Amino acid sequence: MSQEIITLADRVLQVPPSPTLAINAKAKALKAAGEDILNFSVGEPDFDTPQHVCEAGKQAIDDGHTRYTAVPGIPELREAVCMRFKEDHGWNYTPEEIQVCCGGKHGLYNIFQAMLNPGDEVLIPAPYWVSYPPMVQLAGGVPVTVPLDESMDFDLNPETLAAKATDTTRAIFLNSPSNPSGSILSITALKAVAKMALERGWLIVTDDIYETVTYMDGKLPHILDVEPALKEQTVILNGVSKSFAMTGWRIGYSAGPAHLIKAMNKVQSQSTSNPAAPSQYAALAALTGPQDFPGVMKEAFLPRRDFFVKDLESIEGVTCVNPSGAFYVFPNFSAYYGKSFNGTELKNSADMSAYFLNEAKVASVPGVAFGSDDFVRFSFATSMEVIQEGMARIKKALAALEG
Ligand SMILES: *Cc1c(COP(=O)(O)O)cnc(C)c1O
């Protein structure tokens, strides 16, 4: 290979590209090449954006909303976000405490660019969403993982948390329901987090992107309901990508203390300027229109989840926590590590996932991408037929292993 003239930033060299997007791209490429691939690696709903939302996006273009907008987003959309918080949760936010950004991922990116200094530590419960550690690293911070136990349904253990906290801890991620595990944090765990955060002045970053996709009875526990005094040290991250099947529109939003939002607006003003104007009007229609769509998706997801979990648990050696939210199952395949196929040993989740892709033509995401190597993630945002066929192939592939 020839010597490259331009060297790359250390900051970029230390982070991997998003493995979920990479696997999804590989699965799509194999499919395009004629392979019969069943794709469980996708992290988006298998629904189209609701019609009235699409219409609002088209109308915005016809109405001439094709120019720059205010950096934190159009005022109407920030007001609509405040209205949703008030109606859905009883929380009081003003538009100065809201930033609209280019997808939820971008909101998280802005938060850490705005508040981290080199060496600042951020606590990340694992399994975590793939992008959390790189986002912290790209802002000069140090990700510190807090392992969660499958035997505790991936709830946060206050003792493990206390053991990972240091004097340089600045923030902690909460993601409930979680991607990849689908688990929900208990009130007990949230109380422990709240106590430590209040004592030590941590920022709580609560990624609520799956709040509308829960299978539990009653209200989803939330850190701000458990401890309202945390409002000045909490950023809520949400968006329309999952709740309204709008991943391609790229609209997310953050709510937090006004001075932090102002700093995030500075970052946004020097990078993307603002999210796409027509997308903002579409998101406005989503937040102010009928709110039944997430429920419709949930009804479709529920029987798929039930089948998937039951079928996985019927496999010798496999365990799978029943997800209380989101649209992923996260089974433990570690009992099969050490077994071989055609003389090649499967050592970890990357080997397992590659084996499923090559031999079963089933695309999944290895748990190592989420910081938990015993597991593999499958999305059930796909049809029941695909799930049934996929499970049949997975069982056959596992039965073919030796040793
Ligand atoms: C999908 C997702 C997001 C937001 O994704 P965007 O497409 O950037 O809006 C944020 N957090 C988690 C855990 C997700 O799965």
CATH of residue 8:
3.90.1150.10
Give the distance (Å) from ligand 1 centre to CA of residue 207. 8
pLDDT higher than threshold 60 for residue 307: yes
- Mark whether 276 and 343 lie in a shared domain: no
Give the distance (Å) from ligand 1 centre to CA of residue 100. 14
Structure tokens at 151: 């035997």
pLDDT at residue 247, rounded to an integer: 97
Using one digit for the tens of pLDDT, what is the confidence trace for 195-226? 999 999 999 999 999 999 999 988 999 999 99
Q: Is 207 close to ligand 1, i.e. is its CB under 6 Å away? A: yes
pLDDT at residue 205, rounded to an integer: 98
- Mark whether 31 and 66 lie in a shared domain: no
- Mark whether 252 and 115 lie in a shared domain: yes
The answer to whether the beta carbons of residues 213 and 243 sit under 8 Å apart is: yes
| List of E strands, 79-164 | 98-101, 121-126, 142-147
- Mark whether 43 and 163 lie in a shared domain: no
pLDDT at residue 1, rounded to an integer: 56
Q: Is 252 close to ligand 1, i.e. is its CB under 6 Å away? A: yes
- Mark whether 271 and 203 lie in a shared domain: yes
Q: Which of 209, 365, 377 to mutate to test the pocket of ligand 1 (most atoms within 8 A of CB)?
A: 209
Beta bridge partners of 254: 99, 237
pLDDT higher than threshold 90 for residue 23: no
Average pLDDT over residues 343-353: 95
The answer to whether the beta carbons of residues 301 and 380 sit under 8 Å apart is: yes
Residue 296 burial (C-beta neighbours within 10 Å; 0-12, 13-18, 19+): exposed
Q: Is 242 close to ligand 1, i.e. is its CB under 6 Å away? A: yes
pLDDT higher than threshold 70 for residue 2: no
Q: Is 176 close to ligand 1, i.e. is its CB under 6 Å away? A: no
Q: Among residues 259, 288, 317, which one ends one of the domains? A: 288
Q: Which of 129, 208, 237 to mutate to test the pocket of ligand 1 (most atoms within 8 A of CB)?
A: 129
Number of domains in the chain: 2
* Preceding amide of 177 cis, omega within 30: yes
pLDDT at residue 123, rounded to an integer: 98
Q: Is 178 close to ligand 1, i.e. is its CB under 6 Å away? A: no
Q: Among residues 256, 288, 320, which one ends one of the domains? A: 288
The answer to whether the beta carbons of residues 372 and 126 sit under 8 Å apart is: yes
pLDDT at residue 17, rounded to an integer: 78
CA distance 395 to 314: 10
Q: Among residues 267, 288, 309, which one ends one of the domains? A: 288
Q: Is 241 close to ligand 1, i.e. is its CB under 6 Å away? A: yes
- Mark whether 257 and 343 lie in a shared domain: no
109: domain CATH number? Answer: 3.40.640.10
Calculate the average pLDDT of the chain: 96
Q: Band the pLDDT of 25: cuts 50, 70, 90.
A: confident
Average pLDDT over residues 159-175: 98
Average pLDDT over residues 235-248: 97
pLDDT at residue 390, rounded to an integer: 98
Identify the domain containing residue 315 by its residue range: 2-48+293-399
- Mark whether 271 and 319 lie in a shared domain: no
Average pLDDT over residues 26-40: 91
